[in-house]
Structures are given as structure tokens and as C-alpha cells.
């Protein structure tokens, strides 16, 4: 049974509990001594942990730990950069005798993956334009198996079981409302763009069936999901006979949705639906981060500083 969830930790506590490894590496500090650097998770969030001054003898044993392992720690809760961090004194593997509940360790989207998938597929089948409908349905059919568990990121927004579906569904819901307000928007290409924009994250990252990213793929590191997405769209368009104008507009939506060159977009959005796609993506990612922050704050209090929100704290109202 888990005793200390990440969103309940208090600075100064001494804890003994289980956590999921999400990143692990051995580094060398300024004192020239090696230390173990981990990013840990459970169903309530993530935090960093360190095991300082590890010896060469310890290193051999610690090298057996991998991303995806659940480990038991004895540690002190400290603070670093205005966020909780664990200072580890002991570490071991979990075992069958610990009787752990997987739901305590793997963060998951709040809705059933199959139901989210059917919602998105249903929206794709409602697309009136035959070309955009064919592309959207094809992409969903081809990727169904992995979509049911894939996260939308290795960390930060929607880095959770079925997080990519959750991100896609909420963006589709917002897109429908945007089209009611901004009548210049063409709803079919926008819906198709939402379904396509992050789909190549499935090949950019390698994730296990619990939605934990173990590493970025070779192609993902060298190209990234924007370039991968545009390349995949070109292949699909050729196979389905999609007119060139429509195909290139969809490719543009994929490569421009990060907006800025420093975030991977070689072009900024150049038509309304591409512009709105970027903001739908941003709104959903920021609201996800706000929701996560509020879950760790007491009513009338503030969250830790959130790096993805420009290091802001988030206030949780009392009413």
C-alpha cells in the first residue's frame, strides 16, 4: 500500500515508499563524486530524486535499475528550485511480496481510452469533406492500438496513459466552439488538423503499455514529430489521391503548430485554421498544467512553482 503520494509530500518528512522510475542516470557533481539522478512518478505527479556520493561498489547494483521499474526508497523530502525533491538513503526493487496496485503508480487520462477513441473517430466520420475525412479516419485506424495507451509527451503536459487521446479529444471539443465564433474557419480541415498534429509522437517516442516513455526513437531524435508528421502526411495523401492543395495545407498545419522556430516550427501559421490549431494546442497544454498544479495546492494556498508555466505558482480558490 502506498503511504506518500507525490502531491502530499511535506518538506522535512522522512519517508519510506514506492515510486515509478521515469528517468534515471548517473552523473558527476562539482565535487567529482558520482550521484544517481532520478525523475520519479506516481498517479499524482512527478518529482526529482538524488542519491548522493555513490561508490563504485554501489554503482554496479544501481546500474540494474531501468525506466519503468517500481522501486522502494528511504528518503528525506527536501526542496530545490522551489519544488520538492527526495534525498535518497536506501533503494531497492519492488517485488510480488509488496502487493502493489498499478493504479497508484501510473498516471492516466481521466476518461476511458476506448470511449475517447470512439468519440474522436466519430468526429472524424462526421467530417463533410471527403478528402479530409479519408485522411482522418485512415490515421486513426492505422494507429488505434498505440493510441489507446500512448502519452502525448515524455514529461509535462499529457505525459500519462492515453494522454494523446485526451489531448486530441479536448482540442476537438474546443475547435467546434471556435468555429461557431470565428465563422471564417473551415471546420473540416481544422478537425483533421487536430487529429493529425501530434499523431507522429507515436513514432517520435518509445512508450510501454503503461504510457511511460522509455526513450525517444532514433527518428524522433533526428527529425521530431513535426517533420515526421509532414512526411507521413505526404505518403498518405499519395495513397488516398488527396489533391495537392489540401495535402500541403495539412502538412503546413503539422509543421507550423509549434509556431516558433526555436520550438521546431520552420514556418509560422499562414492561414486561419493553422493559426487556431496552434492556440488550441497551447490552451489545452496550459490548462493541463494548471489542473495538475491545482491538484497539489490546498484551498486558499499556492502550488509549487511550475516550470512549464514560466515558473509561476497557481492559486487554488476556496470556493
| C-alpha to C-alpha distances, 84 to 121, 296, 314, nearest whole angstrom | 40, 11, 16
Distance CA(285)–CA(292), nearest Å, equals 11
pLDDT band at 95 (very low <50, low <70, confident <90, very high): confident
For residue 291, list its beta bridge partners: none
**Percentage of residues of the chain with pLDDT beyond 90:** 72
Tally of CB atoms within 10 A around 97:
6
Average pLDDT over residues 48-60: 88
Chain segment 58-81, per-residue pLDDT in tens: 888 888 898 989 999 999 999 888
Instruction: Tell me if 187 sits within 8 A of 176, measured CB to CB.
Output: yes
Hey, what's the cell of 217? 526513437
Q: Which residue has the higher pLDDT, 143 or 154?
A: 143
| Contacts of 287-296 spanning 24+ positions with Cβ under 8 A | 288/157, 288/158, 288/167, 289/156, 289/157, 290/314, 292/45, 295/7, 295/44, 295/45, 296/6, 296/7, 296/44, 296/45
Q: Report the half-sphere exposure of 59 (CA within 13 A, side-chain side).
A: 11
Average pLDDT over residues 212-220: 94
Chain segment 2-46, per-residue pLDDT in tens: 888 988 888 899 999 999 999 999 999 888 888 999 999 998 888
Q: What is the pLDDT of residue 186?
A: 98
Amino acid at each position: 500500500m502506498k503511504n506518500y503520494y507525490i502531491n502530499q509530500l511535506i518538506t522535512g518528512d522522512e519517508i519510506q515508499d514506492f515510486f515509478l522510475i521515469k528517468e534515471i542516470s548517473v552523473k558527476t557533481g562539482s565535487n567529482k563524486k558520482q550521484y544517481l539522478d532520478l525523475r520519479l512518478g506516481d498517479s499524482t505527479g512527478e518529482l526529482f530524486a538524488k542519491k548522493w556520493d555513490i561508490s563504485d561498489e554501489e554503482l554496479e547494483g544501481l546500474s540494474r535499475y531501468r525506466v519503468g521499474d517500481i522501486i522502494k526508497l528511504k528518503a528525506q523530502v527536501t526542496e530545490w528550485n522551489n519544488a520538492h525533491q527526495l534525498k535518497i538513503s536506501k533503494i531497492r526493487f519492488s517485488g510480488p511480496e509488496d502487493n502493489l496496485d498499478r493504479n497508484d503508480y501510473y498516471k492516466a487520462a481521466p476518461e476511458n481510452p476506448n470511449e475517447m477513441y470512439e468519440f474522436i473517430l466519430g468526429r472524424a466520420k462526421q467530417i463533410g469533406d471527403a478528402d479530409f475525412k479519408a485522411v482522418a479516419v485512415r490515421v486513426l485506424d492505422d494507429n488505434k492500438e498505440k493510441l489507446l495507451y500512448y502519452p502525448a509527451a515524455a514529461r509535462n503536459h499529457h505525459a500519462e496513459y492515453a494522454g494523446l487521446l485526451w489531448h486530441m479529444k479536448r482540442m476537438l471539443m474546443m475547435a467546434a466552439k471556435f468555429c461557431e465564433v470565428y465563422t471564417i474557419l473551415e471546420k473540416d480541415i481544422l478537425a483533421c488538423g487536430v487529429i493529425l498534429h501530434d499523431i507522429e509522437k507515436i513514432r517520435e517516442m518509445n512508450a510501454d503499455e503503461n504510457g511511460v516513455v522509455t526513450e525517444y526513437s532514433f527518428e524522433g531524435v533526428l527529425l521530431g514529430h513535426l517533420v515526421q508528421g509532414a512526411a507521413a502526411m505526404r505518403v498518405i495523401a499519395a495513397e488516398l489521391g488527396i489533391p495537392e492543395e489540401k495535402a500541403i495545407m495539412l502538412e503546413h498545419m503539422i509543421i507550423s503548430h509549434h509556431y516558433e522556430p526555436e520550438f521546431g516550427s520552420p514556418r509560422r501559421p499562414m492561414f486561419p485554421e493553422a493559426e487556431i490549431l496552434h492556440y488550441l494546442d497551447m490552451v489545452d497544454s496550459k490548462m493541463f498544467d494548471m489542473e495538475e498544479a491545482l491538484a497539489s495546492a490546498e484551498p486558499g494556498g499556492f502550488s509549487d512553482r511550475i516550470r512549464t508555466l514560466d515558473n509561476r505558482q497557481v492559486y487554488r480558490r476556496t470556493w
